[in-house]
């Protein structure tokens, strides 16, 4: 939601002359200040949506990480030696398990960073400026 707002600001800025960007209206607001004031409720709705969505995705990522971690230690064994230890399938299993554990841990960290962000408009401005 906030991404749309920031992109909207850039679209408007691209259409107007640079001298108009700092002009003030009759209320003493620049175009950016007016845009921020008029869309304040969208920022709050976007923050609420981001937090709700992130929590659900983080639960899924944590479940996947738990299952993958447990799968690494429950390889089918016979007398302490994995049944498929000499086969290429076992190597594929180990590599796939390690990759999925790394990916799920990285996604958990990403979702944590989304949850702990400030949701400030300036943060989105800096990340989208080219």
Q: What is the pLDDT of residues 108-120, one digit of tens each?
A: 999 998 888 877 7
Q: Mapping DSSP to helix (H, G, I), strand (E, B) and coil, where does residue 130 land? A: coil
Domain residue spans in the chain?
Answer: 2-128
Per-residue pLDDT at 122: 66
Average pLDDT over residues 57-68: 92
Select from 4, 27, 12 the least CA-distant residue to 121: 4
Rounded-to-integer distance, Cα 98 and Cα 6, Å? 38
pLDDT above 70 for 83: no
Q: How would residue 80 be classed by pLDDT, with cut points 50, 70 and 90?
A: low
Per-residue pLDDT at 128: 46
Average pLDDT over the chain, rounded to an integer: 78
Burial of 66 per CB tally in 10 Å (0-12, 13-18, 19+): exposed
Average pLDDT over residues 95-102: 91
CA atoms within 13 A on the CB side of 89: 5
Rounded-to-integer distance, Cα 106 and Cα 103, Å? 5
Burial of 104 per CB tally in 10 Å (0-12, 13-18, 19+): buried
Interval 24-40: pLDDT, tens:
888 888 877 887 888 78
Q: Structure pTM?
A: 0.63
pLDDT above 80 for 78: no
């Amino acid at each position: 939601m906030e991404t749309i707002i920031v992109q909207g600001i850039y679209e408007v800025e691209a259409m107007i002359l640079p001298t108009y960007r700092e002009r003030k209206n009759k209320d003493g607001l620049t175009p950016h200040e007016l845009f921020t004031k008029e869309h304040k409720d969208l920022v709050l709705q976007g923050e609420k949506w981001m937090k709700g969505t992130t929590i659900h995705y983080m639960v899924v990522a944590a479940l996947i990480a738990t299952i993958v971690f447990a799968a690494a230690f429950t390889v089918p064994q016979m007398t302490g030696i994995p049944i498929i230890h000499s086969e290429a399938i076992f190597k594929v299993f180990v590599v796939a398990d390690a990759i999925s554990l790394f990916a799920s841990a990285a996604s958990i960290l990403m979702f944590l960073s989304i949850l702990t962000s400030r949701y400030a408009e300036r943060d989105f401005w800096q990340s989208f400026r080219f």
